[in-house]
Amino acid sequence: SQLLRGTVLTFDADPGEAPTPDADSLRYWEDGAVWVEGGRIRAVDDFSALTPHVPEEVEIVDYRGKLIMPGFIDSHVHYSQLDIIASFGRELLDWLNDYTFPAECRFAERAHAEEVAERFLDELLRGGTTTAQVFCTSHPGSVDSIFSAAQQRRLRLLAGKVLMDRHAPETLTDTATGGIRDSERLIADWHGKDRLAYSLTPRFAPTSSREQLDAVGGVLRNDASLYLQSHLSEHRGELAWVAELFPECRDYLAVYERYGLVGPRSTYAHGIHLSEDERARLADAGANIAFSPTSNLFLGSGLFDRLATRDAGVVTSLASDVGAGTGLCGLTTLQGAYQVGALLGQPLTAWQGFYRLTLGNAKALHLDHRIGRIQAGYEADMVVLDLAATPLLARRTQVAETFGECLFAMMILGDDRCVYATWADGRLVHQRDAHDHHEAPQ
Ligand code: GUN
Ligand code: FE
């Protein structure tokens, strides 16, 4: 049992898009304290109000001057693409063929998958992210590797085996029946165990046959607790290819609808080039679109219209989409989101940004009864942010007139250097080392 002392910020509701957050959308304790016990948050309050109720033997962890928030959530990321982050000069379809598929082939080897899984989780925690929805590869062992690593660290994680039975190298393709058989084995082994959940993972329409998509729909219909993750309407060339492959469908979303793959537990990455009609159907279905700003900017895929998506009533989550995305840290994702918004005349406030990274993403993944808030009874997943992590940021926050200005400065100038500590399941799982040193290549 520990008492974390610092400034505490947590959201209760969507703060809205205005520069001033909606009343009652957030809670803030300047000199706050979070009492952690048995992996859960037991209480949160002003330090002076809470301490009289806390037994003397409870350890006080002093984070004064730092900001304690719920752990960040990443709604869409590929752990198998960690090593091809920052690969030069391609748009989506060529990027997949030239960089992604060769990298994913290596996951046929279990030892490689295990090594990358550990490194990926280290990196997530270093960036303050405590829960992610993860694409593995088509190899079942890649899923066992990440679930097993997350289970040992007691992390909350969603993941699934990529289903892909065409238009990819032979070592990466499964079959309609084999892919489902493997997925069902993985569901039986992992779904609902500890803090783990299974997400069925058809890569995207072009790499699945009609038979495969139909079989995925069959599995989903049998178990309403399963998730689904895929890609939708990311790149113009991809849209043309989908239209060619599925001439019977009136638009891209209709392919997934036809096979029963669009529901409240579905996450579709990107959704950049959607029609108003597609947006309306996504809203009706309750599916969420994972806005992946650094990926969209890096691949040159296009600018996600956040406000049109919001106005249509579509749930939007926020994601890194590494390896097309350029960083696992939520702060890096927020910078990208701000830049995309700026290009569309839709500046993203820090309130909206941090809400999306925490409670917003928890809601999109139907996990907001467990994570995404610092509140009694919630799982103790938290990030401790350092507003003075760099000289520039320290100065900018020092001259800031409001707390909102400080938060915005961190969103624009921050990265994993700002992540002072990360807690998951009530335990310290990352502590920034002032002398952090990385070996340069020989
Ligand atoms: N579309 C299909 N597969 C992928 C992928 O791995 N990354 C991205 N960004 N888009 C995709
Ligand atoms: Fe992706």
Q: What is the pLDDT of residue 262?
A: 98
Question: What would the pLDDT profile of 168-178 be if each residue is shown by its tens digit?
Answer: 999 999 999 99
Atom 8, ligand 1: which residue's CA is nearest?
324
CA of 316 to the centre of ligand 2 (A): 15
Mutate to test the pocket of ligand 1, among 100, 164, 273 (most ligand atoms within 8 A of CB): 100
The dihedrals phi and psi of 432, each to the nearest 5 degrees, come to -65, 135
Identify the nearest ligand to the CA of 164 by its number: 1
Answer yes or no: is the ipTM higher than 0.85: yes
Given a cut of 90, whether residue 149 has pLDDT beyond it is: yes
What is the b/e burial string over 175-188, where b = at least 16 CB atoms within 10 angstroms of the residue's CB? bbeebbebbeebbe
Residue minimizing CA distance to atom 5 of ligand 1: 96
Ligand 2 centroid to residue 294 C-alpha, Å: 11
Mutate which of 90, 92, 245 for ligand 1 pocket (most atoms within 8 A of beta carbon): 92
Q: Which fold has domain 2-71+373-431?
A: Urease, subunit C; domain 1 (2.30.40)
- 219 within 8 A of 200, measured Cβ to Cβ: yes
| Distance between Cα 231 and ligand 1 center (Å) | 7
Q: Give the model confidence (pLDDT) of 55-99 as tens digits.
A: 999 999 999 999 999 999 999 999 999 999 999 999 999 999 999
Please report the atom of ligand 1 found closest to the CA of residue 325. 9
361-408: pLDDT as tens digits: 999 999 999 999 999 999 999 999 999 999 999 999 999 999 999 999
| pLDDT score, position 374 | 99
Average pLDDT, the chain: 97
Q: For residue 440, what pLDDT band results from cuts at 50, 70 and 90?
A: low
Assign residue 191 a region: left if phi > 0, alpha if psi is -120 to 50, beta otherwise? beta
Task: Enumerate the CATH 2.30.40.10 domain ranges in the chain, comma separated.
Answer: 2-71+373-431
Round to whole Å and give the CA distance between 55 and 37. 12
Q: Is the pLDDT assigned to residue 442 strictly greater than 70?
A: no
Residue of 235, 205, 214 lying closest to 92 (CA atoms)? 235
**Does 439 score more than 90 pLDDT?**
no
Predicted local distance difference test score (pLDDT) of residue 4: 98
The Cα 380–Cα 353 span in angstroms is 21
Are the C-beta atoms of residues 31 and 7 closer than 8 Å to each other? Answer: yes
- pLDDT tops 70 at residue 436: no
Residue of the CA atom closest to atom 3 of ligand 1: 203
Cβ–Cβ < 8 Å for 61, 1: no
Q: Give residue 54's pLDDT.
A: 97
Percent above pLDDT 90 for the chain: 98
Asked if residue 114 has pLDDT above 70, the reply is yes
Cα separation values, 160 from 42, 135, 408, 411, 428, Å? 32, 6, 34, 30, 27
* Structure confidence at residue 438 as a pLDDT band (50, 70, 90): low
Structural contact between residues 205 and 240, judged by C-beta atoms closer than 8 angstroms: no
- Output the pLDDT for position 73: 99
At 381, is the secondary structure helix, strand, or coil?
A: coil
| Residue 296 confidence (pLDDT) above 70 | yes
For ligand 1, what atom is nearest to the CA of residue 323? 7
Ligand closest in space to the Cα of 232: 1
Pocket of ligand 1 (CB under 6 A): 78, 92, 96, 100, 203-204, 231, 234, 295, 321, 324
Q: What is the pLDDT of residues 225-273, one digit of tens each?
A: 999 999 999 999 999 999 999 999 999 999 999 999 999 999 999 999 9
Q: Is residue 196 pLDDT above 80, yes or no?
A: yes
Distance CA 321, CA 40 (A): 29
Residue 38: the pLDDT is 96
pLDDT of residue 433: 87
Q: Where do we find the tokens 């709604």?
A: 75
| pLDDT tier for residue 441 given thresholds of 50, 70 and 90 | low
Q: Which protein residue's CA is at the shortest distance from atom 11 of ligand 1?
A: 231
Question: What is the mean predicted confidence (pLDDT) over 317-343?
Answer: 98
Relative to the CA of 135, which ligand 1 atom is closest? 6
Cβ pair 174, 164 in contact under 8 A? yes
Q: What percent of the chain has pLDDT over 70?
A: 98
Q: Let me know if 76 is exposed, middle or buried by CB neighbors in 10 A (0-12, 13-18, 19+).
A: buried
Cis peptide bond prior to 323, omega within 30° of 0: yes
First to last CA, the chain: 45
Query: Domain 73-364 maps to which CATH number in 3.30.300.20, 2.60.120.260, 3.30.1240.10, 3.20.20.140?
Result: 3.20.20.140
Nearest residue to 373 (alpha-carbon basis) of 41, 16, 64 = 41
- CATH 3.20.20.140 domain extents, the chain: 73-364
